Every structure is written in structure tokens, then in C-alpha cells.
Chain A
Amino acid sequence: SQQGEEDPQALSIQEGENATMNCSYKTSINNLQWYRQNSGRGLVHLILIRSNEREKHSGRLRVTLDTSKKSSSLLITASRAADTASYFCATAYYGNNRLAFGKGNQVVVIP
């Protein structure tokens, strides 16, 4: 079954720096979503990008999608300590409304 896979698995950065993480998938998708999970707020939807979109912004988040390479990236600009969390990409593919989650990126933002 299709599953997003994030790279790198763990990232440690200083507050104020940018954090970039990537996700790859294997088959055609309807959309790709990014979620954040931390102990305080559980799993929270961040942003959704559809297969016909190439880039999307939401606040300090920027997501790109390259369907030819079957990959996506999530950029968090000007990181804050509160951005410390695990970030998951999830793919929804045609013919099945199931979301397939990757293993997640652990991001630690050092104050």
C-alpha cells in the first residue's frame, strides 16, 4: 500500500532558523497533507495540497508538491520552540479515501 515517507527522520535546530523536511510517495495521489503531533495538542492538521497544486503557504508554513518526482517538502520559517513536534505527511490517493501516514519527522527547536 502507498505510504508517505519523510526524510530526515530527526532534526534539531536553533530558534529562528528554518526547518525543512521531505516526503516521498509511490503512486498517484489526490492530495497530500501535513500534520503535527506533540504531547500537548495531539495530531493537528497543518496544510493540504492537491495534486494539481505546486506550492501552498499558510502562515510560516510553505509546502511544495512535485508530482513528477512524487515528493513534497514542508518548510517552517523562523522556527519557534513551540514548533517542537513530530511532523507527518499523509497521502490520499485516487479510488480510496484512506489517508496513509509516513513515519514522521522529529523536530526539536532549541530556544
Chain B
Amino acid sequence: EAGVVQSPRYKIIEKKQPVAFWCNPISGHNTLYWYRQNLGQGPELLIRYENEEAVDDSQLPKDRFSAERLKGVDSTLKIQPAELGDSAVYLCASSSDPGGNEQFFGPGTRLTVL
């Protein structure tokens, strides 16, 4: 079974530029999460989707961050414009149920903002 796929794996941009991350969850997983992980810290949830609906986006900085999951399968997370403090690893995860149980993580995208 294929795992969670993310691309790109690495991205280096200059501040004020836009950037987008893509995630394809495990087939059949209706719940999709985007996390941000700063160096030396645990992941922090940005947004959670149930199918195409964003059911928990309270921690998403909506002034510059946006996300979509139009057909309830793959998802895109965008930052525009990027700031120096956005440098982090962005992780996508999926699960087969929304009940806070086991989540399957992708390899992440390491973003560096210069």
C-alpha cells in the first residue's frame, strides 16, 4: 500500500515569495491533516479536513496561509507571501477515521525562507 505522498521534498525561496505544497493521502483515508514542525519541536496542526471540508482550521494563519482539498482526495497548502519565520518542515498526514486515532505521515516538505 502506498503511503502519504508529498512534494516537493525541499523548497528554498526568498521572503515575500509564494510557495505551495502538495499532498496525496493514503487511498481511502477521508481525514487529512497539515502540520508544521519547527526545529526541535513536535508537529503542530494547521488544518484538518474531513473529505473536502476543513473542520479544524483554527490554528491556520489565515492572513497568509490557505489550503484546499477540492475533491476530497489530494490537498494543497499555500503560503503567500512567505516570511522568514515560516521556515519549517510541513507534514501531511491522513487517517481512516476522524476520531483522533492513528495517523500516517508523509515525509514532509522542508521549507527554507531566505
Contacts and interface: CB of A to CB of B under 8 A. Distances in A.
Interface of A: 3-4, 30-31, 33, 35, 42-45, 48, 88, 90, 92, 96-99, 101-104
Interface of B: 40-45, 48, 56, 91, 93, 98-108
Contact of A88 (B42, B93, B104): B42
A48 B101 contact: yes
B43 A43 contact: yes
Nearest to B41: A103
Nearest to A39: B107
Given A42-B108, A97-B48, A103 B42 contact: yes
A5 B42 CA distance: 10
Contacts of B91: 42-43
Describe B's contact surface by its main secondary structure: loop
Given A30-B100, A43-B108, 4 more contacts: A3-B42, A42-B106, A43-B91, A92-B100
Contact of B100 (A3, A88, A99): A99
Given A43-B43, A103-B40, A104-B42, A97 B99 contact: yes
Nearest to B107: A42
Given A42-B106, A48-B102, A98 B42 contact: no
A45 to B, nearest CB: 5
A98 B103 contact: no
A59 B33 CA distance: 28
Contacts of B104: 45
